[in-house]
Every structure is written in structure tokens, then in C-alpha cells.
Amino acid sequence: MERIKGLIDAPFTPFYENGEVNYEPIEAYAKLLVNNGLKGVFINGSSGEGYMLTEEERIKLAERWMEAAPEGFKVIVHVGSTCVKTSRNLAAHAQKIGAWGIGAMASPFPKVNRIEELVKYCEEIACGAPELPFYYYHIPAFNGAFLPMVDFLKTVDGRIPNFAGIKYTYESLYEYNQCRLYKDGKFDMLHGQDETILPCLAMGGAQGGIGGTTNYNGKELVGIIEAWKAGDLETAREKQNFSQEVINVICHYRGNIVGGKRIMKLIGLDLGKNRTPFQNMTDAEEAAMKAELEAINFFERCNKF
């Protein structure tokens, strides 16, 4: 299977004021990401509020992103849900429309407590799109699936023909690297934390990643990889430290899904509010966040159209 190189963005889902999905900004959204060095999108995941979308909305979003994606721009569809039948249907649809790949996180209900349960869940989903690479999305902070990923790789190895690797969004750089080293790098280990791109590059194996702050800070995050490849460690460090400063700001405003989505409005692409039960930012919070971003010169360095 082709391995992902470079950074893939996890886009937000645009909503109208009444809470309905707004498909209109997606064409401009795709252009913004391409202009700032992103290689594709991982849609309908955590940043995209995928679990709060209906099956029909998720299907329409996948179709719209495929229409908007330029040649060579990868569209990976997150198909995870609490209903494995729905996930399998979404996977089949992604294959039908020509998506590049699919992925799924562990279901938040019921909580997955055993490796075998997780492998079986992935197995039933992946078979819906046998021609597409399937990535397991490891984000235990969202679903409580704090399972050892090396053991997961050992168990899944050979059982799912189209299993490609893991989108690894967790704090253990040691475990990430052990997964990367499994069978001399058999599986594609996508880095999933924008705050630690540089250390994963330093360990020698990070080739691709999927990020959330890439929506508005992608240019700087791509710059980390470019500086590392050029042997410019000081620039790579500065860009990584700056990216952590940006993350420090959004952590004051309920993280990337809420605070980060409002940043898109501040850089010129209003994607609307978040769906219930997320607590949306007030105008006062928006103004305070803007001031914090201005204090670190964010708007001179952020993604540009």
C-alpha cells in the first residue's frame, strides 16, 4: 500500500446558524489547505464532530469533499460509529465514490476493553471497503480505549488484508515508536499530535501525520518537516515551539474542536458554530482568544488563502 507522506488535515464540519450542515465552504476550504501544504483530509472524525452527524450528512460530506479535492489530494473518510453496520455502509460508500482510504476510532459505547474486541470491530468495518487502506484511529482520550497498540498490531497482523496502520493520537512517544518499529516498519504509523511532530521526526520514522491545528496553523507545521529535512534543527524547533504556543491558546477555549473552529472565522473562513452538546464560544471569548493569538503574532504566520 502507498504510505502517507506529509500532513493530512482533520477538517471541521461547517454548520449554518440553525445547526444544519453547510456544504458551501468546502471548495474554498480545500483550496486553503492545499495552498498551505496539506496533502489531504481525514473527514468526519473528532474535529469534524462526526459522531454528531447523521449517516446521510456524513455521506454528503464525503461526496462534497471528493468533488472539491484537486488531483492528488487524499480524501480519507472516518467511518467509525456506535453501530458497526453503519460503519460498514459508510466504508462501502467511501470506496464507491473513490476515496483514498478509510479509518475508524474505537466506539465510545460500548467501551472497548479487550484487544480482540477492537480487532473484531475493525475487521467488520474494513471488509466494507476491501480495496481501500484502513487505518485504526487511536485516540483513547475520546473513547476510553486505553489498549496497548503493539499488542493490537500483533493481533490484527494478517487478519485484515487492507489494514494499513494507525493514526496515533496519544501522548506515549515510546509506544508510538515501538509500533513504528514493529516488523521493521510493516505498518504506516501516522503521527496524530501536532504538539510533538519534531520528536517523532527525530526518532527517525515519522513520514506522515494527521492533525487538527493544521486547519489554521498548517503552514508552520509543514514547515517543521521541511526544516527537519533540510537539516535546519533550529528552525524546526522554533516552529514546533510556536505551534505549542498556539495549542496553549486553544486550550484556554475548550480545545481545537471549539476554539480552533472559531479561529477559522478569524482567518477568513467562517465555518459556523459547534453542534450540541459542545459549548460554543461567546463573543467575549472570541475577542479574548484573538488578543492571545495576536500576542504571539499568530496572524502573521497562520494559514493564508
How many C-beta neighbours within 10 Å does residue 300 have? 8
At residue 21, the 3 state secondary structure works out as strand
Asked about 261 being catalytic, the answer comes back as no
Q: Which of these is catalytic: 137, 168, 176, 216?
A: 137
Please tell me what DSSP assigns to residue 51: G
Q: Is 137 a catalytic residue?
A: yes
How many residues are listed for the chain in this entry? 305
CA distance 298 to 147: 36
Q: What angle do CA 61, 64, 66 make, to 5 degrees?
A: 110
Strands (E), the chain: 6-9, 40-43, 74-78, 101-105, 134-138, 163-168, 188-191, 208-211
Dihedral sign for Cα atoms in the order 30, 297, 243, 208? positive
Could you tell me if residue 158 is left (phi over 0), alpha (psi between -120 and 50 degrees) or otherwise beta?
left
Query: How far is it, in rounded angstroms, from Cα 284 to Cα 261?
Result: 16
Question: Catalytic: which of 167, 168, 253, 261?
Answer: 167
Q: Which residues are catalytic?
A: 137, 167
